[in-house]
């Protein structure tokens, strides 16, 4: 059965998944890029972004694992781009250039309709104006038996967590203190929602924790 998975979702030690004052020039907010320093040097990340080399080991293994058996993605609108309100035109096509790293159908949650965008590398962005349940159903159909990966951002992950729709949640806790920003666990009680820790392992760059829904 197709699962909804969160993979490689980076948070700070104090629980923030993005820093404050996000903008088009600083999409992860002040201090936000520090959350991802564990993954960017890995061989999998470097290969996905057209470079060679990179580190191997546990951090690379979990990045690679996050892309296995994925047939579709769901993203919140804020993760797709900085534009708010109605789409002014079709110029913005994401942060990732002409060949995004998804290579599957990607369903973007938004309140404002927009036509689908076909990119290089078999990535197509579809814009879903209904609710998170409908988006998940559509994504699972598009995944054709494979899993659906929920990319974020923080608000989107929280919505799916509160609805108990996430089957597996992998958090990468970076050794960074942001102090403020978007907190993942505000108003979230994982225990009451039925999630339990099934895996945890640490490297010099991050602590990897995996939760599953019971």
Every domain of the chain and the residues it spans: 4-81+99-213
214: confidence class by pLDDT, cuts 50, 70, 90 = confident
pLDDT for 105-114, tens place per residue?
Answer: 999 999 999 9
Tell me the whole-structure pTM to 2 decimals: 0.94
Q: For residue 142, give the H/E element and its range.
A: helix 132-143
pLDDT for 169-195, tens place per residue?
Answer: 999 999 999 999 999 998 999 999 999
Homologous superfamily of domain range 4-81+99-213: Dihydrofolate Reductase, subunit A (3.40.430.10)
Give dist(CA 126, CA 129) in Å, integer.
10
Give dist(CA 115, CA 26) in Å, integer.
27
pLDDT for 8-46, tens place per residue?
Answer: 999 999 999 999 888 778 888 889 999 999 999 999 999
Angle between helices 132-143 and 154-162 (to 10 degrees): 90
DSSP string for 73-102: EEEEHHHH-S--SS---S----SS-SS-S-
């Amino acid at each position: 059965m197709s699962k909804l998975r969160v993979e490689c979702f980076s948070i700070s030690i104090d629980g923030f998944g993005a820093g404050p004052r996000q903008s088009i020039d600083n999409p992860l907010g002040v201090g936000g890029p520090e959350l991802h320093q564990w993954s960017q040097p890995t061989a999998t990340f470097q290969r996905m972004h057209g470079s060679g080399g990179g580190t191997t080991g546990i951090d690379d293994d979990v990045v690679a694992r996050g892309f296995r058996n994925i047939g579709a993605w769901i993203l919140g609108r804020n993760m797709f781009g900085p534009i708010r309100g109605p789409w002014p035109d079709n110029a913005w096509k994401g942060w990732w250039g002409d060949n995004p790293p998804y290579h599957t159908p990607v369903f973007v949650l938004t309140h404002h309709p927009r036509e689908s965008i076909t990119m290089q590398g078999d990535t197509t962005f579809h814009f879903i104006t209904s609710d998170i349940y409908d988006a998940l159903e559509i994504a699972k159909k598009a995944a054709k038996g494979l899993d659906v990966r929920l990319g974020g951002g923080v608000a989107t992950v929280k919505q799916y967590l509160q609805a108990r729709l996430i089957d597996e949640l992998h958090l990468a806790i970076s050794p960074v203190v942001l102090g403020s920003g978007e907190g993942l666990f505000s108003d979230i009680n994982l225990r009451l929602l039925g999630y339990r820790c099934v895996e945890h392992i640490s490297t010099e760059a991050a602590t990897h924790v995996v939760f599953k829904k019971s």
